[in-house]
Amino acid sequence: MAASKKTGSARQARIAKALKAAFRRELATRGDDAVKIRVCAGTTCNASGRAAVSCALAAELERRGLTDKVQVVLTGCHGLCQEGPIVVIHPRGVFYPRLKAKDIAEIVETSVVGDEVVERLLYTDPASDEKIALEKDVPFYKGQTRLVRAINGSIDPTSIDDYLARGGYGALATVLAADEPEAVIDEVERSGLRGRGGAGFPTGKKWRFCRQNPGEKHYVICNGDEGDPGAFMDRAVLEDNPHSLLEGMLIAAFAIGGDEGYIYVRHEYPLAVARLRNAMDQARERGLLGADILGSGFSFDIRINQGAGAFVCGESTALTASIEGRRGMPRGKHIRTVAHGLWGQPTNLNNVETYANVPWIVTHGADAFRAIGTETSKGTKIFSLTGKVRNTGLVEVPMGATLRDVIFGIGGGLREGRTFKAVQLGGPSGGCLPADLLDEPIDFESLTAAGAMMGSGGMVVVDDTTCMVDFAKFFLKFTAEESCGKCVPCRIGTTRMLEILERIAAGEGTVKDVERLEQLADDVIEGSLCQLGGSAPNPVLTTLRYFRDEVMEHVVHMRCPAKVCRPLIRYTIDTEACTGCHVCFGACPVQAISGERKEPHVIDQKLCIKCDTCRQVCKYDAVPVETGILAVAEGRQQ
């Protein structure tokens, strides 16, 4: 026993020394009271003109001789994506959104050289119209609890030193020093961490199954094939803090006995791939990835596989087939990936967010993780909040937070003059939930009971201008097109369901069609080979469950309450309100409007393509939109 303890102490000392050697700088920052400028370099801010802002900032600091006195950090995404480019001045944390290069000189003069703020450039809370100076006081951030994204807006994602300075790879060193793989699995299982990719399977249990299954070798795969419309949670983790993913995968590999891993990531994520490759190179250089990691005798390396954009490759067996060079198609679930996965070997597959939670759990302990969330859903969840909400971006909240907390608390509610109608959760295979369920907790069981799903974390908010038939049709069209075609229920069933929805949206549906739609949905769910087909009908079923009256308006009265379905609407001109200003005449793309100046105009229904341009440009509200049986009949007659 004494010899064992001595050996263990020596191992711990050796690994601690190796980690310190890997950490070449004592600090990646220059102290909490130093002047630092953090510039968001996430995909959204880059697309909004971040490069020009960075260049202007560098030039201004050089002009003033401040280059060596002020640290500029290009960080990952700050989360409030609609406000990019974002710049934060520390140590105070002054928050400047939507900056232009022309604003930089004034900001440096006022908030870097001086200690004031540029009032006109501060963030304005859309809910209160209040100017907010500090990042920590922005309501979007105040309502969040960040574990996975805790440092993502602070560190340079291309610098391993920034990650190490904040305790990075310390969790890996801890598990390697203890040399107890089963204990790692026990801790992850006790934490209650469940897969963040959609199914919510207990992570520790999956790791245990994989470790226990015999094989020539064990593989570790990260699913970064994020294909849901409106979802970009995993992309942000890959771009903002790639080392957190690598560390999570390393710990998983040590726990299950794996020495080879793969990250399957979308080809459409070039920045994520570039930062991942850079992070892997840095980790190998520091002895944190590859052979004999930290002198522990444990070896593990990772390859990146880029997918071609097939949504079905997010399914585990289709993903492994793609890595093997075969067509990405699923197989029956009677054989589990943990037993017979990549090249027939036991394979552990989790998504990006799941792995990124692991270092936090090891560092802070299972009890700390269990203390966050609900009885059955522990920890936090990242959502991409998009749609008709005031604040869009990345949100991380404790499991059990309500939809109202996220949409109205963090998201700021709907835009002025609009009312909440629904939120679509769980990607194209998720469900559409109404206002009555806004106080439902966000956890695996509650969302499933409501007809939705956690999914990977897409959250699309719609208001009263959205037609639920059209909304359901959008998601079903996506899943029908993305079906791999291997099984008939998914390949044919989703197509037939889409055809029925298209008839309903065109005013040609019948009550019998609605019944067929429900029956087909059940058949597709029961008969599909994988969960792409098995969950594809969810948007339709929840629309029928919560918005049936709106569907029946289309069927019985040929009326689209939201005035979205073009075959069911008709544009006319109110002759009493029309002043003959000729604006709509010039704006119509098909010359469907006729009339002399200062005389009421007329719309030719045969030429009108119902593009809505005339209504949008009219200053006198003289273009009413009619919908219903009469409008359809008159429109078709003409």
Question: Is the alpha carbon torsion for 362, 366, 368, 372 positive or negative?
Answer: positive
Residue 121, SS3 per DSSP? helix
Q: Which residues of the chain have pLDDT under 70?
A: 1-8, 25-33, 333, 635-638
The boundaries of every CATH 3.30.70.20 domain in the chain are 566-637
Count other C-beta atoms under 10 Å from residue 371's C-beta. Answer: 12
Residues in Cβ contact with 525 at an 8 Å cutoff, skipping those fewer than 6 apart: 533, 534, 535, 537
C-alpha 99/C-alpha 386 separation (Å) is 22
Count other C-beta atoms under 10 Å from residue 459's C-beta. Answer: 27
Q: Classify residue 468 by burial, with Cβ atoms within 10 Å: 0-12, 13-18, 19+.
A: buried
C-alpha 508/C-alpha 493 separation (Å) is 20
Q: What is the pLDDT of residue 635?
A: 64
Residue 458, SS3 per DSSP? strand
State the helix-helix crossing angle for 511-527 and 548-556, rounded to 10 degrees.
130
Count other C-beta atoms under 10 Å from residue 292's C-beta. Answer: 11
Structural tokens at position 227: 């294909």
State the helix-helix crossing angle for 270-285 and 233-240, rounded to 10 degrees.
40
Q: What is the pLDDT of residue 456?
A: 76
Domain at 469-556, CATH class = mainly alpha
What is the CATH code of the structural domain delimited by 380-464?
3.10.20.600
Contact 226, 454 (CB under 8 A): no
Q: What is the pLDDT of residue 32?
A: 56
Over the range 328-351, which residues count as b (16 or more CB within 10 Å of their CB) and which as e? bbbbeeeebbbbbbbeebbbbbbb
Q: Which residues pair with 194 in a beta bridge?
A: 202
pLDDT, tens digit (0-9, with 9 covering 90-100), for 32-82: 567 899 999 999 999 999 999 999 999 999 999 999 999 999 999 999 999
DSSP element (H, E) containing 386: strand 380-387
Structural domain 36-139, CATH architecture: 3-Layer(aba) Sandwich (3.40)
Enumerate the H helices of 371-434 as residue ranges: 403-404
DSSP strand pairing (602-603 vs 593-594) = antiparallel
Single out the residue of 535, 495, 523 nearest to residue 314, CA to CA. 535
pLDDT, tens digit (0-9, with 9 covering 90-100), for 371-399: 999 999 999 999 999 999 999 999 999 99
Count other C-beta atoms under 10 Å from residue 82's C-beta. Answer: 17
The boundaries of every CATH 3.40.50.11540 domain in the chain are 160-370
Q: What is the pLDDT of residue 14?
A: 84
The boundaries of every CATH 3.10.20.600 domain in the chain are 380-464
C-alpha 630/C-alpha 638 separation (Å) is 12
Q: What is the pTM of this model?
A: 0.92
C-alpha 355/C-alpha 298 separation (Å) is 19
**CA angle at residue 191 from 186 to 194, to 5 degrees?**
100
Q: φ, ψ for residue 255 (rounded to 5)?
A: -70, -40
C-alpha 560/C-alpha 555 separation (Å) is 9
C-alpha 458/C-alpha 353 separation (Å) is 13
Q: 160-370 belongs to which homologous superfamily?
A: NADH-ubiquinone oxidoreductase 51kDa subunit (3.40.50.11540)
Residue whose tokens read 């300075």 = 165
Q: Answer whether CATH 3.30.70.20 is correct for domain 566-637.
A: yes
